[in-house]
Structure 1
Amino acid sequence: MNIKITELDHRKGEPLPFQVTLDAAELKNRHHEIRGLTPVTVEGDAVKLGNLYYVKGEMKADIDFVCARCLTPFTQHASIPFSETFALADDPQIEEDEESDIHPLEGDQIELDTLLQEDFLLAMPTFPLCEEDCKGLCPTCGVNRNEAPCSCKNERIDPRLAGLADLFKDNN
């Protein structure tokens, strides 16, 4: 999606609403944890205030993941806000601060697709969890601890210190 700068200039501070749908297949291919994805709907508005162009809004989609702890498939509804600021490439404000979050504009349009895809992918979890307090799988018997308790002893003793454990047993 592209927004013409001249269109924002003529609106004199009045926001220009927009809607777009991002390519779900491309986003799914770029993030290895996403198993399935509904079309990503984007709603927002763009406005020119002073010498800067502001684009803000929200992306929504349903995303299928597999839990990193218990390996259970689950679907998460994502609502991801975004906000980007642009200025003309020759604007002195960009040249002064090299680490600024202001994107330089080349040409007569604001190209949003790449930035929106980046914002969406950066909001995705690296290790998706079905629940914040997911107990995961037992490393010994493999039971899902969210569904059933397990009586395995998962106490690991460093073999170099095993002799010390025997020493403490005698004192009790």
Structure 2
Amino acid sequence: MNIKLAELEHRKGEALPFQLTLDAAELKGRHNEIRGITPVNAEGEAVQLGNLYYVKGSMKADVDFVCARCLNPFTHHAAIDFSETFALADDPIISEDEDSDILPLEGDEIELTALLQEDFLLAMPTFPLCEEDCKGLCPSCGVNRNEVACSCKNERIDPRLAGLADFFKDSK
């Protein structure tokens, strides 16, 4: 979906609402951790104020992941807010501040689909966890420590210091 700049200029500061659905298959193909995804519904508004164009809104979808610690599948209810500011590529405001978040516009339209896909993918976790405090799998016996308490000793001793551990056993 594209928003024509001329249409925003005719609205004279009044917001132009929009609604679109992003291609779920394409998003899934671009993120390795996504196992399944519902259609991503985006709604928002675009407005021109002075020489700047503002686009803001939110996206919602249910995304299926596999937990990186315990390997259990889970569904994440994603609600992502977005806000972008644009200016024409030849506008002096872009060349004044190289660190600004103002995106240059080439042509007479704002291309929303690619912009929203990037915003959505950047908001997805690269290390998905079913719960923030997920205990994961035991590295010794493989049991899910969220479900069962494990009695394995998972002490990791540096082999260079293993002889020192024996020294302290004798001193007790």
Tell me the TM-score range normalised by the shorter chain: over 0.9
Classify the secondary structure of the residue corresponding to 1:166.
helix
What's the TM-score, normalizing by structure 1? 0.98
Classify the secondary structure of the residue corresponding to 2:163.
helix
Aligned partners of 2:55 and 2:159: how far apart in 1? 59
Residue 126 (structure 2) aligns with: 126
Map Cα deviations across residues 78-119 of structure 1 (whole Å, 9 max, x no partner): 000001111111111011122321111111111111111110
Residue 6 (structure 1) aligns with: 6
Displacement after TM superposition at 1:65 (Å): 0.1
Residue 40 (structure 2) aligns with: 40
Residue 69 (structure 2) aligns with: 69
Q: Would you say 1:155 and 2:138 are equivalent positions?
A: no
Q: CA RMSD for the aligned pairs?
A: 0.8
Aligned partners of 1:133 and 1:159: how far apart in 2? 30
Residue 107 (structure 1) aligns with: 107
Across the two proteins, how many residue pairs are aligned to each other?
172
Residue 78 (structure 1) aligns with: 78
What's the TM-score, normalizing by structure 2? 0.98
Classify the secondary structure of the residue corresponding to 2:80.
strand
Percentage of matched positions with identical amino acids: 82
Unaligned runs of 5+ in 1: none
Aligned partners of 2:97 and 2:171: how far apart in 1? 67
Map Cα deviations across residues 94-150 of structure 1 (whole Å, 9 max, x no partner): 111223211111111111111111100000001000000000000000000000011
Aligned partners of 2:67 and 2:159: how far apart in 1? 32
Map Cα deviations across residues 39-67 of structure 1 (whole Å, 9 max, x no partner): 00000000011110000000100000000
Aligned partners of 2:89 and 2:156: how far apart in 1? 59
Amino acid at match of 2:27: L
Classify the secondary structure of the residue corresponding to 1:119.
helix
Amino acid at match of 2:166: D
Aligned partners of 2:36 and 2:28: how far apart in 1? 7
Unaligned runs of 5+ in 2: none
Amino acid at match of 1:147: E
Residue 17 (structure 2) aligns with: 17
Amino acid at match of 2:116: L
Aligned partners of 1:168 and 1:15: how far apart in 2? 73
Displacement after TM superposition at 1:158 (Å): 1.7
